[in-house]
Chain A
Amino acid sequence: MKCIVPLLILLFPWFSGFSQDAKQIVKRADDLMQGSSNTSEIFMKIHRPKWERSLRMKSWVKGDDYALIYITEPAREKGQVFLKRKREMWNWLPSINRTIKIPPSMMMQSWMGSDLTNDDLINQSSIVKDYEHNILEKEILDNEECFKIELIPHDQAPVVWGKIITWISVTDGYSLKNEYFDEDGYLVNTEIMSQVKNVGDRTIPTRFMVIPANKKDYYTEMRFEQISFNDPIDEGFFSLQNMKRIR
């Protein structure tokens, strides 16, 4: 009996630290994409059966808690700003000179008519803290060996998904595909990352496709046209006052 336990540990080393590993893998992928802060210029294309339109925006993100997005194109929406502080979100509308607080009830509403919700936009980084992580298997995805990791939210976590499955590259550490499921276990969105590029200090995918599962010919494409990491941004930058000033 005495030797069975060490033997088991020897035979199945993942018994001990597997779930910790999963969490670390997810955290590393998240850090890779977020940094301690990042500044980027994003191009977004929204596709619908009847029309297609594109937006351009600048974005500033600091840690999990602060984000600011400034729309630069098209002209009609230029100047609109979205601000996230902690779990609150505001929208500045220059055309009516008003700041609107986006209430929790609107968190699941589409953001600017895209396939992303307000919640997707601001709550992204709780992917590490709010979920239980579990490696399911290793899988080859587009010639890259990936960890297929299942994310189940904690009981009390303020998340909208019932489950997320993410594919994270074994060698490079960034995620390449996410599947979002609702509370009943149905697939809602698929997110596919591609166009891996060196963006300066790191190599990451720069193109994100969000494809809703049950809507034919709907998708939203996001491309980072420019991104830089870990520039120091003051917390005061993410203020209601600055939201009106920023250009």
Chain B
Amino acid sequence: MKTYKMAWRNLWRNRRRTLITVSSIFFGVLMATLMSSMQEGSYSNMIKNIVKFYSGYLQIQEEEYWDHRTLYYSFEEEDFLHKSLTGIDQIIMITPRLESFALISSGEITQTSSVIGIDPQKEEQMTNLSRWISRGDYLTTGSSNIILAEKLADNLNVDLKDTIALLGQGYYGNTVAAEFIISGILKFPNPELNKGFAYLDLNTAQTFYSSEGKLTSLALMIEEYTDLNKVKRQLDTRLDSPYIARTWKEMQPEMVQMIESDRAGGVVMKAILYIIIGFGIFGTIMMMVAERKKELGLMVAVGMQKFKLASILFQETLFIGLIGVISGILISIPLIYYFIQNPIPLTGKAAEAVINMGIEPVLAFSLEAKVFLNQLITVFLITILVAFYPVLNILNIKVIKYLQD
């Protein structure tokens, strides 16, 4: 009889024992999967909300722009740029922006702010900017009005229909100044954004900054976040100097760092979880060997090769590990799927904190493959490690002692 068949049969000779061991692995895998799914999910939720709103996943810029952030490094929106983007299927939206800083002043009060020229319709499709409008109206194409963030308006002591003066530095380094009427107030959930953002129609902004026809960036939206690197590589081959594609990771390194440090914290948590799982498996296997001492001793006594017996026990443990891991993942997939469809809403202080960061207040989950693969591999490796215990035990068997037991 083949050893694996014997191992399989052995498993079911004592179902209860097997099921207990399997379930300890099952729950371990389920916990670890849910935890890392939640982690990854909240990261991509964060990325989706902040990155999408602020920089877009990818931007095409003049290569020097990001280091200097002045309009000197703006560029003409030329056809060949758009041509170089067609044919990359993952790019679903492109929106032009002209972004710089300016002083906004009303009466005696002056505040600094980002003043961004946008294509109102495209920006709306991409970042859904108008959903933050709390009073007044969103920009229309060709509008000569300004919309600005709530806190900024408060600080300036202005409201709808008031006139504010903008003062900044134009494309030529010249002083530019103009007056605008406030047609809308934006209430961003993120206090940082709320303090210093104002929007103009692209053409109006270009005239204001004396940079007609110029952009500081083309923000790109891609269908799936996971395609980011693929699209970036394609763009790298298509774009020539002085144009460059930048990912949000380059533009928002602080966000990347935040995620990395959070992930490092998660690693510690997972390590603790794995240690618990590992000892759980080890405990049940140890018990199994202890329970079967007489049986094992007898087998050796009647002439079974120690090596063969050890291999059977090794395989038993592997089977238990496999069943546990696979069932754990099979159950966690629909569970996670359910939570993705019906996210758990956050409430109270936790929700407030998250909203303040500009993130939707939900516990988000992720169905990314790496969530499952990592748990599968780690738990299975732990099982293999544990499987050496019965093997060593058999190889050092003292038959008489075992039989007396």
A53 to B174, CA, bound (A): 11
Contact of A93 among B169, B171, B172, B175 (CB under 8 A): B175
Pick from A76, A91, A96: contact of B179, CB under 8 Å = A96
A selection of 15 A-B contacts at a CB cut-off of 8 Å is A46-B173, A48-B72, A51-B171, A77-B175, A91-B175, A93-B175, A95-B179, A96-B105, A96-B166, A96-B167, A97-B165, A98-B105, A112-B175, A113-B169, A113-B174
Interfacial residues of chain A within 62-112, with CB under 8 A of chain B in the complex: 76-77, 80, 91, 93, 95-98, 100, 110, 112
Measured between beta carbons, the chain B residues less than 8 angstroms from A112 are 173-175
Residues of B within 8 A of A51 (CB): 171-172
CB-CB nearest in chain B for A112 = B174
Given A98-B105, A100-B167, answer yes or no on A80-B172 (Cβ-Cβ < 8 Å). Answer: no
What is the CA–CA distance of A113 and B105 in the complex, to the nearest angstrom? 22
Please encode chain B, from 152 to 194, with 1 for each CB lying within 8 Å of some chain A CB and 0 for all others: 0000000000000111011111111111000000000000000
In the complex, residue of chain B having the shortest beta-carbon distance to the beta carbon of A100: B167
A interface, how many residues as a size bin? 10 to 19
**What is the distance, in angstroms, from A219's C-beta to the closest C-beta of chain B?**
14
Q: Which residues of A contact B174 (CB under 8 A)?
A: 76-77, 112-113
In the assembled complex, how far is the CB of residue A33 from the closest CB belonging to chain B, in whole angstroms? Answer: 26
In the assembled complex, how far is the CB of residue B111 from the closest CB belonging to chain A, in whole angstroms? Answer: 15
**A50 interface hit (Cβ, 8 Å):** yes
Contact (Cβ within 8 A) A96 B172: no
- CB neighbours of A97 from chain B (8 A): 165, 179
- A77 closest partner in B (C-beta): B174
User: Is B177's CB under 8 angstroms from A96's CB?
Assistant: yes
**Min CB gap A69→B, angstroms:** 13
The residues of A that contact B175 with a CB separation of less than 8 Å are 77, 80, 91, 93, 112
Nearest chain B CB to A92 CB, angstrom units: 10
In the bound complex, what is the Cα–Cα distance between A112 and B173 (angstroms)?
A: 6
For residue A239, give the distance in angstroms from its CB to the closest CB of chain B. Answer: 21
- Residues in A with CB closer than 8 Å to B178 are 95-96
Looking at the assembled complex, report how far the CB atom of B60 sits from the nearest CB atom of chain A, in whole angstroms: 18
The distance in angstroms between the C-alpha atoms of A51 and B167, with both chains bound, is 22
Please measure, in the bound complex, the distance between the C-alpha atom of A114 and the C-alpha atom of B175, giving whole angstroms: 11
Assess the A96–B210 pair: CB atoms within 8 A.
Answer: no
Do A46 and B172 form a contact, CB below 8 Å, given A76-B210, A96-B177, A98-B177?
Answer: yes
Give the interface of B toward A (CB within 8 A).
72, 105, 165-167, 169-179, 210
Q: State A57–B346 Cα separation when bound (angstroms).
A: 62
A223–B175 CA distance with the chains assembled, in angstroms: 22
**Could you tell me if B172 and A53 are in contact, using CB atoms closer than 8 angstroms?**
yes
Cα–Cα, bound, A98→B177 (Å): 10
| CB nearest to A95 among chain B residues | B177
B72 contacts across to A, CB distance below 8 A: 48, 50
**7 further A-B pairs in the complex, CB-CB below 8 A; given A76-B174, A93-B177:** A48-B72, A51-B172, A95-B177, A95-B179, A96-B177, A97-B165, A98-B167
| Residues in A neighbouring B172, C-beta threshold 8 A | 46, 51, 53, 113
- The answer for the CA separation of A98 and B166 in the assembled complex, in Å, is 11
Question: Closest residue to B164 on the A side, CB-wise?
Answer: A96
A53: which B residues are within 8 A, CB to CB?
Answer: 172
**Complex-state Cα separation, A98 to B108, whole angstroms:** 11
* A-chain residues with CB within 8 Å of residue B105 when the two chains form the complex: 96, 98
Contacts of B176 in A (CB 8 A): 76
User: Within A209-245, which residues are at the interface with B (CB < 8 Å)?
Assistant: none
CB pair A96–B173 under 8 Å, yes or no, is: no
**Measured between alpha carbons, how far is A110 from B172 in the docked complex, in Å?**
11
**Chain A's nearest CB lies how many Å from the CB of B203?**
15
Q: CB distance A113 to B177 under 8 Å?
A: no
CB distance from A77 to the nearest CB of B (A): 6
Q: What is the bound-complex CA distance between A53 and B72, given in angstroms?
A: 13
Chain B proximity of A149: nearest CB distance (Å): 32
Question: Which residue on chain A has the smallest CB distance to residue B62?
Answer: A50
Rounded to whole Å, the gap between the CB of A56 and the closest CB of chain B is 14
Q: Is B210 in contact with A98, judged by CB distance below 8 angstroms?
A: no
Q: Mark A32-65, 1 if CB is under 8 A from B, else 0.
A: 0000000000000010101101000000000000
Residue of A50, A93, A114 near B167 (CB, 8 A) is A93
**What A residues does B173 contact at CB under 8 A?**
46, 110, 112-114
Which residues in window 109-124 of A have CB below 8 A to B?
Answer: 110, 112-114
Determine the residue in chain A with the shortest Cβ distance to B110. A100
Report Cα–Cα, A242/B249, bound state, in Å: 53
